[in-house]
């Protein structure tokens, strides 16, 4: 949804903390009067709830449809895993065991 991207761009400038919390949320048009909001967690849902009214009012005016309703769906696939340098190295070491031996020998510091 183009309007959602514009809303996020504006929110990034106005409130970077809220932007970071809800940028992973995905909006999907279900039918003419329904929007499905996919959130990765309850925390993201509650954060989205703080901006939902602002977004929907702008969106309803833009599309000239004031009967639009929203529904939340929790989608765990939207969660992003934080990969540390150690996790990344371990992943490569699984594919190439010589890296593990090198790590044992050299005692790499990934902090």
- Full-model pTM: 0.64
CATH architecture of 2-76: 2-Layer Sandwich (3.30)
CB 89 within 8 A of CB 99: yes
Spatial CA neighbour of 20 closest among 1, 42, 48: 48
CB 54 within 8 A of CB 76: no
82: pLDDT confidence band, cut at 50, 70 and 90?
low
Q: Is the pLDDT assigned to residue 28 strictly greater than 70? A: yes
Quote the DSSP letter at residue 41: S
Angle, helix 85-95 to helix 97-106, in steps of 10 degrees: 130
Q: What ranges do the domains of the chain cover?
A: 2-76, 81-111
CB 103 within 8 A of CB 89: yes
Q: Is the pLDDT assigned to residue 38 strictly greater than 90? A: yes
């Amino acid at each position: 949804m183009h309007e959602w991207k514009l809303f996020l761009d504006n929110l990034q400038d106005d409130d970077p903390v809220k932007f970071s919390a809800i940028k992973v949320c995905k909006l999907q048009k279900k039918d003419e009067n329904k929007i499905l909001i996919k959130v990765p967690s309850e925390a993201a849902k509650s954060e989205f709830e703080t901006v939902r009214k602002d977004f929907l009012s702008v969106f309803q005016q833009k599309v000239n449809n004031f009967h639009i309703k929203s529904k939340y769906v929790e989608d765990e696939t939207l969660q992003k895993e934080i990969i540390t340098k150690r996790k990344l190295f371990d992943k490569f070491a699984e594919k190439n065991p010589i890296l593990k031996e090198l790590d044992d020998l050299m005692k790499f510091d990934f902090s």
